[in-house]
Structure 1
């Protein structure tokens, strides 16, 4: 029997590679090689699956990263910011998924609400870290700039390599020190 996590991971992969229209029960059962019974057992309905998928995306690509940085509680804000940037840029496959979720959010109000929640959580955490930098810049605007660099790098075609994004972050951080 396929686990709930396997259903959700398969949904994220389909979403990333083929976009939201591909995330159907038929495609998921085909990819996983199972019948629909397990799907309904875990999620109840398509709406239940979509909600779980969005929560999984948020937990995996936002909450998990923040928790990992906060687990190193003895670190000062600059070190936490560097750790967060390393974690974010370590996953080279997430850019396609981020683009797919943002595209889906333009067409679905539930997904839009989830994307707004993710963006708010991410920028709120960045603002918290940037307020501890002791730099001569508006920390909230600086946090927004850091986030926009990542979003922009994911959106341009061809996408900017994570190594290059890291160099851009290093440059921006040097400019405020």
Structure 2
């Protein structure tokens, strides 16, 4: 057992139940280990919850940004990559983690701060893409907001309401956010 095993097990409980279901006894029983194994990696349940948020931040934000940034693509192609994220094979699991953490954040300060930080990192990255496309700062922020709304909304809705192919969605999302603004 390593720290990531505990984090993954706790994230699964978060998805299937909610944060109240994440109990040391429950995790130990699920993983078939003693409490000593838990305390080897974490001092408290709160430490585990913090590790879950750190894992989410790293895997679903920092690693994604790094991967897209090093691709060498132009800003429009990087934005297209971001728009495609909710439609990738592993995305349903990521969407479940995302919505579960956001639900938890509605009631508790620690995840609320983590969500605010992640949203800021993501928003700043998308804003930079629009700046790199030549948009002035305020316009870049507005377009970034719309792009982020499209990405987040698509991650929730495309599995149940999907009136278009992935390719059509990507082209329309790019056209809506990178085209000439009206007014």
TM bucket (normalised to shorter chain) is 0.7 to 0.9
2:173 matches 1:172: yes
2:123 matches 1:102: no
2:120 matched residue in structure 1: 120
Q: For residues 107-163 of structure 1, what are the alpha-carbon distances to aligned partners after superposition, in whole Å with 9 as ceiling and x for unaligned?
A: 1101100110111111111111122234699221111111112333445697545x7
1:78 matched residue in structure 2: 76
1:61 matched residue in structure 2: 60
Number of aligned pairs? 174
CA shift, 1:38, in A, is 1.3
CA shift, 1:11, in A, is 1.2
1:147 matched residue in structure 2: 148
Q: Secondary structure at the match of 1:40?
A: helix
Task: Note if contact 1:29-1:35 (Cα within 8 Å) is conserved in structure 2.
Answer: yes
CA distance in 1, matches of 2:122, 2:140: 14
1:89 matched residue in structure 2: 87
Task: Note if contact 1:123-1:143 (Cα within 8 Å) is conserved in structure 2.
Answer: yes
Task: Note if contact 1:16-1:100 (Cα within 8 Å) is conserved in structure 2.
Answer: yes
CA distance in 2, matches of 1:75, 1:156: 28
CA distance in 2, matches of 1:157, 1:70: 25
TM-score normalised by L of structure 2: 0.83
CA RMSD of aligned residues (A): 2.5
CA distance in 2, matches of 1:60, 1:54: 10
1:37 matched residue in structure 2: 36
CA shift, 1:167, in A, is 3.9
Q: Secondary structure at the match of 2:92?
A: coil
Task: Note if contact 1:17-1:96 (Cα within 8 Å) is conserved in structure 2.
Answer: no
TM-score normalised by L of structure 1: 0.85
CA shift, 1:92, in A, is 2.3
CA distance in 1, matches of 2:69, 2:51: 25
CA shift, 1:88, in A, is 4.6
Task: Note if contact 1:12-1:53 (Cα within 8 Å) is conserved in structure 2.
Answer: yes
